[in-house]
Structure 1
Amino acid sequence: MNAIETGLKDCFILEPRVFGDSRGYFFESYNKSVFKKAIGLDVDFVQDNQSFSTKAVLRGLHAQAGEFAQAKLVRVLQGEVLDVAVDARPDSNTFGKHVAVLLSAENKRQLFVPRGFLHGFIVLSETAEFSYKCDNLYNKDAEWGVIYNDSQLNIDWSLPTDNLLVSDKDRLLPSFEDAIAQLKLKTN
């Protein structure tokens, strides 16, 4: 496994070793000891999730707060997405910065999104199946998020914004600045 630093602390692109022949291919998508050695962090994944979406579906930007924060290891099983991770850790020197990575069934890349990051993706292919491992169980009360088109984050989602398919819930998310202020109020 090849770990590529993204420029955001503890956030990595992972490329597996793929073994192919005339029959197809094989690769190890996850091995705890190899993963730990590659990124230098000991992460205990406890939940796997999968979603199916059509072209231009944008899911995000989401996170969980406090003791329910989640680190995620994400990948695409079918199709292609632009995956985005935003550093929302106020004490981080890359606070408010993001990384956007093309993940596809073809390139087999994965993105490790640490705790304290917002996460989202947009489907670039006709359909996509998206899989992610989480190191903490989902807790609805700890859920928070930021509007996908926040001007401070200035994320280029690679598709025209008037064509995006975004849930009503995600369209009502606050700005990055307001969401961080709300989180600070809850923790004080």
Structure 2
Amino acid sequence: MLDINLIPTDYKKQIMFARDNRQKVKMLNLSLLLLALSIGLYLAGNNYFDIKIVEKTIEVAKIDPAINKLKPIEKKYKTLNSRVEVLKTIVKSHLYWTEIRDEVISVLPEYTTVQGLTLNSDPKKEQQITGQSKDLETVAKYRNNLENLPAIKDVKINSGKLSGDQDTTGVMGDQIYDYKLSFTLDSAAFKSTNGEKK
């Protein structure tokens, strides 16, 4: 069979060229549409985040005064908390202070009294005993008795002098001596109560 082309060649080229151009214009329009859509989304997204930032800034501005109102409450809480800690220390200290007091009194020699016992919850600080005795030899004996207690160490006689007080009972004799002893507590003393380890 014989093919006969009835369309002139130039005209055919123009039709092909026009078809290509329409295809390119369509692609260009689609690209422009996508670009416009992307720009719109970008601007809308930025605008959305700007609005959210403004909203959050307003919320923070509202919260700030409330936070400032909480500061005095926080200060009161800290004060109360520190008082609770002091009370805990006192209660805990009382447990071993009672035991130490009982031990200190249990080794008193005859004709010796304890008039003051100063205990400190810091194991590095010295504890003190003040009292009266019939003579200085008895004070030295008391010092040795204390040194033999497991919770007490480094017992020193700080002073021993004739007292201005008179023995009205006649038990200690005519003369009374005031004494002052100091000692430190072994760290084990702070862990035990009534002979039991915590």
* TM-score band, normalised by shorter chain: under 0.3
Larger RCO (CA under 8 A, 6+ residues apart): 1
Greater helix fraction, Structure 1 or Structure 2: 2
The answer to which structure has the higher strand fraction is 1
**Higher Rg of the two aligned structures:** 2
